[in-house]
Amino acid sequence: MARPRRTTAENVRLVLVPSEGAEAYDPAKRDPRLVALVRLLARQAAREFVDAEWERASRERLRK
């Protein structure tokens, strides 16, 4: 078994440098990544809702 090296950093410094092609953030515009995420989550929620309703309907049919 390998021996741990114990080489962990005490302090980490992160410097963010914007690239030349990076667009400036404009709060008036919608972030397309956020829009895509919201659509994906909405589709997933709708799919789960429909599946739950089909399951409920089939259980109710079996009771009668």
Convert the pLDDT of each residue in 37-61 to its tens digit. Answer: 999 999 999 999 999 999 999 988 8
Confidence (pLDDT) at 60: 86
pLDDT over threshold 60, residue 1: no
Q: What is the pLDDT of residues 2-40, one digit of tens each?
A: 666 766 777 878 777 777 776 677 888 888 889 999 999
Task: Using a cut of 0.95, tell me whether the model's pTM lies above it.
Answer: no
Q: What is the pLDDT of residues 22-31, one digit of tens each?
A: 667 788 888 8
What value, to the nearest 5°, has the Cα angle with vertex 43 and ends 25 and 39?
10
Cα–Cα distance measured from residue 26 to residue 41, given in angstroms and rounded to the nearest whole number: 24
Quote the strand ranges of the chain, DSSP E: none
